[in-house]
């Protein structure tokens, strides 16, 4: 169900108030993505504190905006990169090559060669063919075997596309060693927006079995990468970061040798709540006796592409006070798939009214297209707004009850 309606405590998740959003929309037009970079920093620091001893490799794919990557470089973050362009971006912004993990299990040989030339030395794999490519184009590199794990309850599942079966792990690790590579560890990914915390426990148990089997066969593993999957509260409540960290911090010493290097690849939880989408009603109507409809100037081909793939539901916030009604909400394109929600409970809306969509920092601008000729949302950063327009009211994260 698309949520919500009038303000209430829901607005506390937005990085701007409606007053601020109105001023920004008048100056810059809509749609707009507004980012509070301090939330990114705070999320990194909180995750770093909770996941004891982990190197946090920010999954650049979640939001590759240079301002976000730069802020994390300044915090000495590590990075999960998936392509030549992501490697270039991180290095150009000052990331250390040794802080880059090329975690895409299947890579073009040209990209492997590029990474190696730029001193990236740690790669993920899940097939013999990938090992052969890396042996040719990144000789002697450290390689991490990605295992296929349970991803029930994750909104984006990866097990069909990536990950080796447990029974094939030893042969792949031995193959890496035979090819002159350094098989240093294991990785897994429980799926993006994983709603079943027990999947992490299942995956850790599997990795522990493979660690022990490898040790018995003279392959000493020293790296454990738990991937991503940490969920975000969009509409439905999910388990807390604290609960997940408690589970993982308890199981690691029970299952793995002391001194193992620990890696996590958070993307969504690092950036989701740092952005709010400001979008505008461009049309109102009713079709074939169904729900009333509203059309927004951003949609599934722009900032809200995750709706098409069923990865998340977004809260839609309005500052109107009229009686509530049910709307079908469409994006601006002429594709009938451009449906944001079929049952948003919102006040009566008219053309040019603003809608705020919080938690819009992950896989929004990163996946936006120019389909139908609609440009992606313009991106603004609060600290830049303050710097370029010092006479404007201070832009700051708002709190519940501010309105």
- Apex 158 CA angle, 156 and 161, nearest 5: 135
Q: Confirm if 59 and 272 have CB atoms less than 8 A apart.
A: no
What single DSSP character describes residue 3?
B
- Distance in angstroms (rounded) separating the CA atoms of residues 375 and 368: 9
Q: Confirm if 78 and 58 have CB atoms less than 8 A apart.
A: yes
- Distance in angstroms (rounded) separating the CA atoms of residues 64 and 365: 9
Considering the candidates 57, 90, 312, 334, report the single residue annotated as catalytic: 334
What 3-state DSSP class applies to 111?
Answer: helix
Q: Which two tokens stand for residue 373?
A: 């000729």
Bridge-based pairing state of the strands 122-125 and 142-146 = parallel
The length of the chain in residues reads 403
Which of 341, 339, 334 lies closest to 314 in space, CA to CA? 341
Q: Confirm if 103 and 57 have CB atoms less than 8 A apart.
A: yes
CA 341 and chain centroid, separation? 21
Beta strands in 17-172 (DSSP E): 32-35, 54-59, 78-81, 100-102, 122-125, 142-146, 154-156
Task: Confirm whether 334 is a catalytic residue.
Answer: yes
Which of 355, 345, 353, 339 lies closest to 3 in space, CA to CA? 345
**How many helices (H) and strands (E) are present in the chain, helices listed first?**
11, 17
- Distance in angstroms (rounded) separating the CA atoms of residues 401 and 45: 27
Give the N- to C-terminal CA distance of the chain in Å, as an integer: 25
Between helix 128-137 and helix 169-178 the angle, nearest 10°, is 20
Query: Active-site positions?
Result: 334
């Amino acid at each position: 169900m698309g949520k919500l309606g009038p303000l209430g405590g829901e607005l506390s998740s937005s990085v701007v108030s409606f007053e601020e959003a109105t001023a920004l929309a008048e100056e810059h037009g809509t749609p707009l993505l507004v980012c509070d970079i301090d939330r990114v920093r705070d999320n990194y620091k909180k995750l770093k504190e909770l996941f004891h001893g982990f190197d946090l490799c920010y999954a650049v794919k979640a939001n590759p905006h240079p301002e976000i990557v730069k802020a994390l470089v300044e915090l000495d973050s590590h990075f999960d990169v998936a392509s030549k362009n992501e490697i270039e971006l991180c290095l150009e912004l000052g990331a250390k090559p040794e802080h880059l993990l090329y975690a895409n299990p299947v890579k073009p040989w040209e990209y492997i060669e590029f990474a190696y030339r730029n001193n990236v030395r740690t790669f993920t794999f899940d097939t013999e063919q990938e090992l052969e490519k890396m042996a040719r184009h990144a000789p002697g590199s450290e390689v991490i075997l990605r295992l296929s794990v349970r991803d029930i309850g994750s909104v984006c599942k990866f097990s069909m596309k990536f990950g080796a079966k447990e029974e094939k792990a030893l042969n792949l690790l031995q193959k890496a060693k035979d090819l002159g590579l350094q098989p240093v560890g294991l990785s897994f990914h429980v799926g993006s927006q994983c709603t079943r915390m027990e999947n992490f426990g299942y995956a850790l148990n599997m990795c522990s079995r493979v660690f022990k089997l490898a040790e018995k066969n003279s392959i000493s593993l020293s790296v454990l990468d738990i991937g991503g999957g940490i969920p975000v509260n969009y509409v439905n409540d999910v388990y807390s970061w604290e609960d997940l960290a408690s589970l993982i911090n308890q199981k690691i010493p029970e299952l793995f040798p002391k001194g193992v290097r620990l890696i996590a690849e958070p993307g969504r939880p690092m950036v989701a709540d740092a952005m709010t989408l400001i979008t505008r009603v461009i049309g109102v109507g009713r079709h074939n006796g169904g729900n009333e409809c509203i059309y927004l100037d951003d949609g599934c081909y722009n900032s809200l592409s995750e709706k098409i793939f069923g990865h998340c539901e977004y809260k839609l916030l309005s500052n109107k006070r009229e009686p509530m009604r049910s709307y079908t909400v469409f994006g601006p394109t002429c594709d009938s798939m451009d449906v944001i929600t079929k049952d948003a409970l919102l006040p009566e809306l008219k053309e040019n009214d603003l809608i705020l969509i919080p938690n819009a920092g992950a896989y929004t601008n990163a996946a936006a297209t120019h389909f139908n000729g609609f440009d992606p949302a313009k991106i603004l950063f609060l600290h830049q707004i303050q710097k370029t327009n010092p006479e404007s009211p201070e832009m700051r994260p708002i709190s519940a009850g501010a309105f």
